[in-house]
Structure 1
Amino acid sequence: MHEMSIAASLIDIVKEEMAKHGATRLLMVRVRYGRLTNIVPEALQMGFEATCLEAGIKDARLELEEVPLTVACGGCGETFTPEHEDILYMPCPRCGREFAHEVLTGRELFVDHIEAE
């Protein structure tokens, strides 16, 4: 479960940012993650809660926002979001090419917003 190590890293990032701004109480963290990161939202939520307890952080919320997969066709350049759940099968809606696409979004994993006081 790589979500536990991700949660620990998130808390480290948040603590560093809070220290920079003199904040002492964490209220909310929003994380954006791409579809290709293979994040299981429930597992990350559980890891976040466990890591917060271990770090002495109470009542902090984690908001998760998935970034959809978008690609540019390697043949015609069309930008599209694959219709199929199977990301290995991504035919271009314009020319039909199924492979050699450039991933534009879907690999992200970052802290988008922190609320603290």
Structure 2
Amino acid sequence: MSISTKAAVPAVTDATFADEVLASDVPVLVDFTAAWCGPCRMIAPVLAELAAEEDRFRIVSLDVDENPATSAAYGVMSMPTLMLFRAGEPVRSLVGARPKRRLLADLADAL
């Protein structure tokens, strides 16, 4: 199964974060990621799969090296950090890669 992560999980930037995430009318899970991060590469296919299946929330990725302002604003220090935003506010923050079932369980009460 070869899902193109880039196509399934759109990237946001410092410039588009407010419109794409904070102003969204559905919850948005932001994958704070980096090209050099091994665990980020491990969770990418899981997020791509979820992006294709989920209709309760959107998933976007933000490269922390290319977009330091947003990463700093939310105190992101470790990658991957997955942050769920609802109504413009971060409501859940998870650090580290995890299997799809555990990720959904960790997000369930915040959705």
Q: Which has the higher strand share?
A: 1
Q: Which has the higher helix share?
A: 2
When the two structures are superposed, what TM-score results if normalisation uses the length of structure 1?
0.30
When the two structures are superposed, what TM-score results if normalisation uses the length of structure 2?
0.31
